[in-house]
Structure 1
Amino acid sequence: MEINGLTWTITIAVIVGLLAFDYFAHVRKAHTPTIKEAAIWSTVYVGLALAFGLVFFAFGDTQHAVEYYTGYILEKALSVDNLFVFLIIMASFRVPREYQQKVLLFGITFALISRTAFILLGSAIIEMWSDVFYLFGIFLLLVAGNQLKGELAGDDAEDEADNVMVRLAKKLLPASDQYHGDKLFSIENGKKVMTPMLLVMVAIGATDILFAFDSIPAIFGVTQEAYIVFTATAFSLMGLRQLYFLIDGLLDRLVYLSYGLSAILGFIGVKLILHALHENNLPFVNGGENVPVQEIPTLVSLMVVVGILIITVVVSLKSSKGQALIALQNAEKFAYRYQQLPEDCPADERAAAARRMDEWTEKADGLSQKWRDQLLDHKDRYSSIIRTAHETRLSDSDVDDSETSRRIVEQAGPRT
Structure 2
Amino acid sequence: MVHELPVTFEVIALAAMVVLLVADLLIVGRRPHVPSMKESAVWVGFYVALALVFGGIVWGVGGVTPAAEFYAGWLMEYSLSVDNLFVFVIIMARFAVPREQQQRVLMVGIIMALIFRAAFILAGAALIEQFTWLFYIFGAFLIWTAIHQALPEKEEDKDDYKENLLIRQMRKVLPLHHQYDGGRLTTRVDGRKLFTPLIIVFLAIGSTDVLFAVDSIPAIFGITRDPFIVFATNLFALMGLRQLYFLLGGLLDRLVYLPYALSVVLGFIGVKLILEALHTNSLSWINGGEGFEWAPEVPIWLSLTVIVVSLAVGTVASLVKSAHDARKEAAQPAVERGAEGEDGAGTVEPATEAAEAASDSAK
Which secondary structure does the structure 2 equivalent of 1:193 belong to?
Answer: strand
CA offset digits 1:174-209 (Å, max 9, x no partner)? 111101111111112222211112211110100100
Amino acid in the other structure paired with 1:122:
G
Task: Flag the structure with more relative contact order, 1 or 2, with Cα contacts below 8 A and sequence separation at least 6.
Answer: 2
Query: Residue 89 of structure 1 contacts residue 161 of structure 1 at CA under 8 Å; is this kept in 2?
Result: no
Check 1:212–1:120 CA distance in 2 against 1; reply closer, same or farther (3 A cut).
same
Query: Residue 44 of structure 2 contacts residue 243 of structure 2 at CA under 8 Å; is this kept in 1?
Result: yes
The 2-side partners of 1:361 and 1:270 are apart by: 41
Amino acid in the other structure paired with 2:186:
F
Q: Residue in 2 aligned with 1:305?
A: 307
Q: Residue in 1 aligned with 2:105?
A: 103
Q: Percent identity?
A: 47
For structure 1, list consecutive stretches of 5 or more residues without a partner in the other structure: 328-359, 367-403
Q: Residue in 2 aligned with 1:13?
A: 15
Q: Residue in 1 aligned with 2:119?
A: 117
Query: Residue 93 of structure 1 contacts residue 161 of structure 1 at CA under 8 Å; is this kept in 2?
Result: no
The 2-side partners of 1:283 and 1:200 are apart by: 47
CA offset digits 1:268-311 (Å, max 9, x no partner)? 00000011111111122222111112121011100111001111
The 2-side partners of 1:10 and 1:164 are apart by: 41
Within-5 A mapping of 1:112-191: 112-149=114-151, 151-154=152-155, 156=157, 160=161, 162-191=163-192
The alignment yields a C-alpha RMSD, in angstroms, of 2.2
For structure 2, list consecutive stretches of 5 or more residues without a partner in the other structure: 352-363
Shift of 1:264: 0.8
Q: Residue in 2 aligned with 1:62?
A: 64
Q: Residue in 1 aligned with 2:243?
A: 242
Query: Residue 255 of structure 1 contacts residue 322 of structure 1 at CA under 8 Å; is this kept in 2?
Result: no
Check 1:158–1:318 CA distance in 2 against 1; reply closer, same or farther (3 A cut).
closer
The 2-side partners of 1:125 and 1:155 are apart by: 40
Q: Residue in 2 aligned with 1:277?
A: 278
Check 1:27–1:409 CA distance in 2 against 1; reply closer, same or farther (3 A cut).
farther
Which secondary structure does the structure 2 equivalent of 1:137 belong to?
Answer: helix
- 2:93 pairs, out of 87, 91, 96, with 91
Q: Residue in 1 aligned with 2:210?
A: 209
Which secondary structure does the structure 1 equivalent of 2:157 belong to?
Answer: coil
Shift of 1:132: 0.8
Q: Residue in 2 aligned with 1:344?
A: none
Larger radius of gyration: 1
CA offset digits 1:314-364 (Å, max 9, x no partner)? 111223x6633x46xxxxxxxxxxxxxxxxxxxxxxxxxxxxxxxx9744x
Structure 1-normalised TM-score? 0.77
Query: Residue 41 of structure 1 contacts residue 239 of structure 1 at CA under 8 Å; is this kept in 2?
Result: yes
The 2-side partners of 1:103 and 1:311 are apart by: 32
Which secondary structure does the structure 2 equivalent of 1:247 belong to?
Answer: helix
Which secondary structure does the structure 1 equivalent of 2:120 belong to?
Answer: helix
Amino acid in the other structure paired with 1:218:
A
- Do structure 1's residue 414 and structure 2's residue 341 form an aligned pair? no
Runs (4 or more) in structure 1 with deviation over 6 Å come to none
Which secondary structure does the structure 2 equivalent of 1:248 belong to?
Answer: helix
The 1-side partners of 2:337 and 2:84 are apart by: 37
Query: Residue 179 of structure 1 contacts residue 197 of structure 1 at CA under 8 Å; is this kept in 2?
Result: yes
